[in-house]
């Protein structure tokens, strides 16, 4: 049920029509009850107006049926709105598996984007249509918010943690991109474009840019530059746990608790290594807070993500051996 409404941005994502349908439903319900109440007020004012100077109103004794009616009907209406809204919220929050991942970093006052192939862009975002795209977003400084009205998606970009959002563009075009969180003097200038393209054209665009190291390759270089490999050797007996095949898997911590090694866990382990110590290791890793930018953090994580499968890790100089260290299993 995709259609374009006057005064509404173009519906250009798979979720846009659902968001609009819920919005219009809520507007219709609100308008109906507002008009009903306003109409009844006017009607009662006229019907029950005072007709004589000595007129006394009749006593009212209440009505259980009426009380129940105007309690139960609104209850169902608002619970319906809640259920419908929650369903759309969950759908919009959880990206489908296999979504194309793109890194976004917000900073005063621009949007920096890096694709998995290495292609970079600023204040623009090129995406293919017909395919789910997941944005992994971080901030270099303060709160920002990534807002694409035509896709009906908006998510805060928060310093110190990752936030994600996903969408599937449905029609090619150039759409507005806004920062929707006041972030300083030039907040209003923190705008850009989202360019949705046919998949073939997108592929051409992706290959057309200047060759840049992919995030995983840049991360491999950082891994060497920061001498991470001196502890994370990947071999048994290393001072730090092997990072091979760790992404997306369960990690046992000191004390027996278990966590899934996701982006947030890896990020924390780099900037605040003492927060979660892997079972069998000592809390000796120094923090890299302030030494690596938000973008470099994403690159390091992309590198760790690439360390999986038999010998298919990114061909970085610091590639750990294929055999996973036994202590993390």
CA 216 vs CA 16, 222, 265, 306: distances in Å: 33, 10, 17, 7
- Residue 181, interface with ligand CUA (CB under 6 A)? yes
- Kindly indicate which of the ranges 3-11, 161-169, 179-187, 261-269 contains the residues binding ligand CUA, using the contact rule CB under 6 A: 179-187
Q: Which residue has the tokens 């592929």?
A: 203
Determine the Cα–Cα distance for residues 31 and 25; give it in Å rounded to an integer. Answer: 10
Instruction: Give the nearer residue to ligand CUA in terms of CB position, either 102 or 285.
Output: 102
Instruction: Give me the least distance between CB of 152 and ligand CUA, in Å please.
Output: 19
Instruction: Give the nearer residue to ligand CUA in terms of CB position, either 272 or 293.
Output: 293
Instruction: Give me the least distance between CB of 271 and ligand CUA, in Å please.
Output: 22
Burial per residue of 262-298, b for 16 or more beta-carbon CB atoms within 10 angstroms, e otherwise: ebebbbbbbbebeebbbeebeeebeebeeebebbbbb
Sign of the C-alpha dihedral computed for residues 253, 256, 262 and 264 taken in this order? negative
Beta strands in the chain (DSSP E): 100-107, 110-115, 120-122, 124-128, 132-139, 144-148, 153-157, 163-168, 173-179, 191-197, 250-252, 258-260
**Of the residues 16, 92, 183, 194, which one makes contact with ligand CUA according to CB under 6 A:** 183
Query: Please, which of residues 109-168 interact with ligand CUA by CB under 6 A?
Result: 109, 144
Instruction: Give me the least distance between CB of 266 and ligand CUA, in Å please.
Output: 25
Instruction: Give me the least distance between CB of 218 and ligand CUA, in Å please.
Output: 24
Instruction: Give the nearer residue to ligand CUA in terms of CB position, either 192 or 238.
Output: 192
- Residue 187, interface with ligand CUA (CB under 6 A)? yes
State the number of binding residues for ligand CUA (CB under 6 A): 9
CA angle, 105 as apex, 268 and 172 as ends, to 5°? 130
- Residue 190, interface with ligand CUA (CB under 6 A)? yes
Residue in 105, 173, 115 with CA at minimum distance from that of residue 139: 105
**Of the residues 136, 179, 300, 318, which one makes contact with ligand CUA according to CB under 6 A:** 179
- Phi, psi (5° rounding) for residue 281? -125, 160
Instruction: Give the nearer residue to ligand CUA in terms of CB position, either 106 or 238.
Output: 106
Site string for ligand CUA, 269-308 (x = CB under 6 A): ----------------------------------------
Instruction: Give the nearer residue to ligand CUA in terms of CB position, either 109 or 202.
Output: 109
Query: Please, which of residues 74-113 interact with ligand CUA by CB under 6 A?
Result: 106, 109
Which chain residues interact with ligand CUA by CB under 6 A?
Answer: 106, 109, 144, 179, 181-183, 187, 190
């Amino acid at each position: 049920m995709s259609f374009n409404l006057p005064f509404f941005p173009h519906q250009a994502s798979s979720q846009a029509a659902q968001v609009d349908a819920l919005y219009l439903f809520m507007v219709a319900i609100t308008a109906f009850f507002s008009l009903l109440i306003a109409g009844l007020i006017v009607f009662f004012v006229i019907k029950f107006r005072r007709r004589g100077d000595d007129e006394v109103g009749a006593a009212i004794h209440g009505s259980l049926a009426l009380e129940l009616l105007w309690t139960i009907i609104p209850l169902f209406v608002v619970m319906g709105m809640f259920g419908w809204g929650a369903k759309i919220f969950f759908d919009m929050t959880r990206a489908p598996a296999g979504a194309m991942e793109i890194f976004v970093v917000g900073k005063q006052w621009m949007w920096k984007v890096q694709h998995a192939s290495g292609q970079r862009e600023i204040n623009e975002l090129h995406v293919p249509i017909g395919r789910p795209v997941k944005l992994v977003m971080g901030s270099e400084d303060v709160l920002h918010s990534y807002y694409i009205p035509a896709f009906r998606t908006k998510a805060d970009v928060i310093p110190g943690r990752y936030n994600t959002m996903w969408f599937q563009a449905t029609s090619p075009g150039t759409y507005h991109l806004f920062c929707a969180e006041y972030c300083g003097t030039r907040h209003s200038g923190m705008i850009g474009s989202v360019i949705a393209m046919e998949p073939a054209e997108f592929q051409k665009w992706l290959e057309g840019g200047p060759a840049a190291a992919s995030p995983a390759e840049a991360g491999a270089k950082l891994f060497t530059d920061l001498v991470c490999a001196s502890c994370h050797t990947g071999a048994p007996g290393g001072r730090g746990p092997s990072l091979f095949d760790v992404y997306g898997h369960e990690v046992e911590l000191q004390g027996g608790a278990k966590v899934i090694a996701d982006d947030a866990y890896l990020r924390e382990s780099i900037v605040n290594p003492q927060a979660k110590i892997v079972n069998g290791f000592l809390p000796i890793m120094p923090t890299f807070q302030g030494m690596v930018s938000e973008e470099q953090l994403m690159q390091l994580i992309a590198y760790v993500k690439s360390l999986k499968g038999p010998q298919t890790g990114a061909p970085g100089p610091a590639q750990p051996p294929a055999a996973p260290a036994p202590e993390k299993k």
